Amino acid sequence: MALQIDLSTSLQLLAKDPLYYKDKPYTLHRLYSISILHDNFIAHLVDDVNIRDLRAVEGTFPFDENGIGILEMQSNMTYDDFSDSVKMENIYCKEVGDALLQYTQALSIQIFDFAVRRRHPKWPAKPSHEIKGGGRSQPALQAHLARLYVLQAHLDYTEQSVRELVRILNQEEADVLMSKCFIYLHVWRPLRVPVPHWPTAVCDAKMMNSTTDLIDMDNIMLDRCETMDWLQPGEGVEINVVENVLAHHSEDQKSYYLSDHKPPELLLFRHVEPSRKSGVPHAAFCNPLSQPDPSVTRESVEVRAIGDNNAICWGNRCTCCGNLFNDDLLI
């Protein structure tokens, strides 16, 4: 069994500031300079956060409850292959999709997005939006459930934005798909070697209060994003808004990471599931036990997917469709 190492460090979340009683949090994505502030985030840096090693709870952590899982997958991709978007789509995404089908027992898995991140030497002192390639090329340090690339814990989508995404991706079949249970999943792993200095923290969904701990935000796209076809605006429209979720701090929250995270280990976590109260906020964090090594760059690859029906019907009767399944998935 691998050595289990818990950490005490700092996490950045969104402050519970009166500003957000009247103004919705936002961030702007653009390729040109404008006078409007890049975002209206007021950060809350929480010190002395205990981040527990996921290896300490192996075999006891139901994905159905906590929204976090680990699955093994050997890939046929070489390191250089991850710079080839065609191979990413045709080989790696298919490998991940097959692994998710087996793990979740879903009827189908639809992979709609992938990204490779390579940490810039000047990040995080230099903000992500000032780096070539933008936030999509850098780690996310803000705990979130959002398509966000700053120092905040976050979630990648709200339920409503996932439903809109399903419609864009599936057109005529969207109504049929959304009449079933569905789940939005995130799959993250190091690209080549473990990332000891900036690992990824995930917050236990079971310990999140969706009413007081989470707040919707807007990702505002002021430019056409050629690499993200599903976000393209209609003819003559230059603004896209994708609704995401940021996290506030609570003493009840529990965070985890995977020590010595090796490339064959896929860290799987839930973003959106209509029958659940919360997704899994996540963020990169600085490991206080690791010294920065200029020769080891934080590199990671991630995939986002939507699964349907059986994917969320584990263990008990599903609150969406009423189906009864008996399989409990544990880390």
Identify the band that residue 156 occupies on the pLDDT scale cut at 50, 70 and 90. Answer: low
Instruction: Report d(CA 68, CA 252) in Å as an integer.
Output: 17
Highest mean pLDDT among 77-81, 125-129, 174-178: 77-81
Strand order, beta sheet including 265-272: 68-72, 265-272, 182-190, 299-308, 108-118
Residue 155, pLDDT > 50, answer: yes
Identify the band that residue 135 occupies on the pLDDT scale cut at 50, 70 and 90. Answer: very low
Per-residue pLDDT, averaged over 98-105, amounts to 90
pLDDT value at position 69? 93
pLDDT value at position 91? 97
pLDDT value at position 104? 85
Least confident of 29-43, 83-97, 144-158, 210-224: 144-158
Query: Buried b / exposed e across 247-282, counting CB within 10 Å, b at 16+?
Result: bbbeeebbbbbbbebebebbbbbbbbbeebebbbbb
Identify the band that residue 150 occupies on the pLDDT scale cut at 50, 70 and 90. Answer: very low
Per-residue pLDDT, averaged over 92-102, amounts to 94
Identify which of 136, 156, 165, 162 has the alpha carbon closest to the alpha carbon of residue 202.
156
Q: What is the pLDDT of residues 232-279, one digit of tens each?
A: 444 444 567 778 889 999 999 999 999 999 999 999 998 877 666 578
From the centroid of its chain, how far is CA 311? 18
The CA distances from residue 286 to 39, 56, 257, 291, 302, in Å, are 23, 20, 12, 10, 19
Residue 130, pLDDT > 90, answer: no
